[in-house]
């Protein structure tokens, strides 16, 4: 008994880090922290081009297309600068609409490209409503720097996430952005090309 008491401080000193590590493992794997959103959403290759009217129907903002075309012309290095219509056509060809279908995790998520006509068959939430009806919100997150992040799989990937309180998981959106983007080369938060949550099919 005396030997146990004698070594008790060393036992406690060894036990505390082990208990802490086990606590971290349990915390990072709690099932209630798993994100489980029920709504798909639409996003675009370019921000602010596709918008949603009061009836929940998507439409294309031609003024924003022209703005992007003018910006594209300003970045042009051609000796003979084409007319603005040339760059408008280029922007039109780059525009994409995607439907993001959420699976159990980012590897099981599916992204389907839609035509504007197909997208108009869907009833969408207002663009200002970044939270879907079941409470999830799309956010942009920087890598998490935690002492045990790498060891126990804590998310450290920079990019878009879908979150609700402590529930969070990664989304695969960034690779659908245009190849030229100043946000790819600066430490800036890229604008979210969100269009709306899919509320009803075949509207």
Domain ranges of the chain: 1-33, 35-58+96-200
Q: Which of 18-22, 47-51, 103-107, 198-202 has the highest mean pLDDT?
A: 47-51
Q: How far is CA 132 from CA 27, 58, 192, in A?
A: 26, 17, 15
Task: Count other C-beta atoms under 10 Å from residue 172's C-beta.
Answer: 14
Q: What is the pLDDT of residues 46-82, one digit of tens each?
A: 888 999 999 999 999 999 999 999 988 888 776 677 8
When pLDDT is cut at 50, 70 and 90, the band that residue 4 belongs to is low
Paired tokens of 122: 């869907």
């Amino acid at each position: 008994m005396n030997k146990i008491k004698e070594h008790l401080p060393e036992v406690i000193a060894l036990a505390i880090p082990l208990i802490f590590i086990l606590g971290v493992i349990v915390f990072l794997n709690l099932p209630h922290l798993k994100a489980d959103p029920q709504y798909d959403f639409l996003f675009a290759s370019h921000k602010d081009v596709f918008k949603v009217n009061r009836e929940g129907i998507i439409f294309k903002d031609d003024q924003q297309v022209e703005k992007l075309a003018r910006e594209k012309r300003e970045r042009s290095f051609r000796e003979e600068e084409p007319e603005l219509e040339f760059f408008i056509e280029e922007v039109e060809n780059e525009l994409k609409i995607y439907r993001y279908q959420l699976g159990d995790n980012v590897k099981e998520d599916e992204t389907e490209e839609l035509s504007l006509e197909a997208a108009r068959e869907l009833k969408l939430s207002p663009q200002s409503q970044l939270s879907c009806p079941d409470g999830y919100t799309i956010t942009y997150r920087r890598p998490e720097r935690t002492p045990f992040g790498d060891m126990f799989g804590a998310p450290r990937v920079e990019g878009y996430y879908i979150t609700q309180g402590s529930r969070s998981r990664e989304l695969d959106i960034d690779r659908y952005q245009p190849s030229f983007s100043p946000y790819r080369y600066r430490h800036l938060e890229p604008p979210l090309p969100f269009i709306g949550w899919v509320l009803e099919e075949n509207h």
